[in-house]
Amino acid sequence: MKKISILSLHLGYGGIEKCVVTLANSLCSRYEVEIAVCYKLYDKPAFDIDDRVKIKYLNKDLKPNHDALRRAFKSKNPFKMIKEVFFGLKVLYYRKKTMVKYIMNSESDVIISTRDIFNYWLSGYGKSNTLKIGWEHNHFHENYKYANNVSKSAKRLDYLVLVSSELQKFYAKELANTNCMCIYIPNSIESLPSKKAALENTKLISVGRLSKEKGYIDLLKVFKRLNKDYPKWTLDIVGDGVERENIENYIEKNNLKDKVTLHGFQGKEYIDKLLNQSSIYLMTSYTESFGIVLIEAMSHGVPCIAYDSAEGAREIISSGENGYLIKHRNLEAMVKKIEDLIQDEKERIKIGSQARDSVKKFTSDVVKEEWFTLIEESDIYD
């Protein structure tokens, strides 16, 4: 039985981390799977992991100090600032030291890297008989400095797996003169839920990290406009992050506290329950590499509306068939399309049903076969 190692920064809440867990759960049906984790942020992983998957924490007592560092600089206390800077450098030092040691000593047949920094270490320290795979989740969104770094980090790997066909085509050109082959394998969800949303409730929903690129202030602007004519409708936002305070301030300033609920980070069962109670899913991201949350909403039969600036949404939604894409981040067009679905329950049900059918190809039973093919057909073992 081949052994597969997946390199992960942490196993807390996050899109990449959820994909890591889903992949590990899929691969363990055929292989011995281990996740090597830099930081242990919580007592247990945020997402359910199959008992057959081994987890190896490399730095159990060290965690990133981003929040403490921000507080220190905000306080303008030189002692606190210096203390947190040196602690942050210590964390980064041990992150590299422990991950490099793991890679060098690993007996795994295949190692899958999930970040560009891991790509560099895997390329430099991985054994010659190990299949080295990079797994890139982020869309560079015209940030060519970032894209060039990804290309540079992957050029000595055997494969770079991209989560969209658009990214596969881009990086294939960038890495054309290297031995690294670019492969498109989409992210996946575990399976279609047995129960789908009835789409009868006056509830909108959005799920994701509360950061600027997710566009939650824009979402609240849309909802504010919508709420004037449809005061019975409410908005649930699931997730947490650095923008939470700004979002809370906007909600308070615009008298939306009774209409918008911030649920914070939540587990799968909690989110599934909310999705089943919702009638429309909204995405206002400026950029999105794949949009796993869209697939999850669509799997529940919830119609989705997204700004087409989110590249991942374009990969998943065929506008007018299984959801709607709004061009140029046009607020008026977004509001109008939400109003159309609010007014037309039959259309909601139709789009939701077509959405659910369209994401069957993204279930783990389907997608894992593509990973099996990649692992089994590689000539590195020949």
Residue 184: which domain range? Answer: 3-190+363-381
Q: Is residue 197 part of a domain?
A: no
Q: Judge if 139 and 273 occupy the same domain.
A: no
CATH number at residue 37: 3.40.50.2000
Average pLDDT over residues 162-181: 95
If you average pLDDT over residues 38-66, what whole number do you get?
Answer: 93
Over the chain, what is the mean pLDDT? 94
252 and 338 within one domain: yes
Distance, CA of 198 to CA of 113 (rounded, Å):
40
Q: Are residues 153 and 227 in the same domain?
A: no
Q: Is residue 198 part of a domain?
A: no
Q: Is residue 185 part of a domain?
A: yes
CA distances from 204 to 148, 234, 259, 269, 280 (A): 38, 6, 10, 18, 5
Per-residue pLDDT tens over the stretch 143-152: 899 999 999 9
Looking at the fold, whether 162 and 222 belong to one and the same domain comes out as no
Q: How far apart are CA 187 and CA 163, in angstroms?
A: 6
The stretch 257-263 carries a mean pLDDT of 97
Residue 260 falls within a domain, yes or no?
A: yes
91 in any annotated domain: yes
167 and 119 fall within a common domain: yes
Q: Above pLDDT 70, what percent of the chain?
A: 99
The residues, any chain, with a CB within 8 Å of residue 87's CB and separated by 6 or more, are 65, 68
What pLDDT, on a 0 to 100 scale, did the predictor assign at position 193? 94
Tell the residue number behind the tokens 């210590």, with chain if given. 90
Residue 381 has pLDDT above 80, yes or no: no
* Per-residue model confidence as pLDDT tens digits over 335-367: 999 999 999 999 999 999 999 999 999 999 999
pLDDT single digits (tens) 278-329: 999 999 999 887 888 999 999 999 999 999 998 889 989 999 999 999 999 9
Q: What is the pLDDT of residues 198-234, one digit of tens each?
A: 999 999 999 999 999 999 999 999 999 999 999 999 9
Of all residues in the chain, what percent carry a pLDDT higher than 90? Answer: 84
Asked whether residue 195 is assigned to any structural domain, the reply reads: no
pLDDT of residue 379: 56
Closest CA to 289 of 192, 165, 155: 165
How sure is the predictor about 382, in pLDDT bands with cuts at 50, 70 and 90? very low
> In terms of domains, do 261 and 353 share one?
yes
Structural domain contains residue 144: yes
How many domains, the chain? 2
Instruction: Rank 128-132, 313-317, 374-378 by mean pLDDT and report only the highest.
Output: 128-132
64 & 172 share domain:
yes
Higher pLDDT, 46 or 115: 115
Alpha helices in the chain (DSSP H): 15-27, 66-75, 78-105, 116-125, 144-154, 165-174, 216-229, 244-253, 268-277, 292-299, 311-316, 331-343, 345-358, 364-377
Residues 165 and 230 in one domain: no
Asked whether residue 196 is domain-assigned, the answer is: no
Residues 257 and 335 in one domain: yes
Same domain, residue pair 88 and 168: yes
Range 62-91 average pLDDT: 91
Examine the domain organization and report whether 169 and 315 are in the same domain: no
Q: Do 209 and 310 have their domain in common?
A: yes
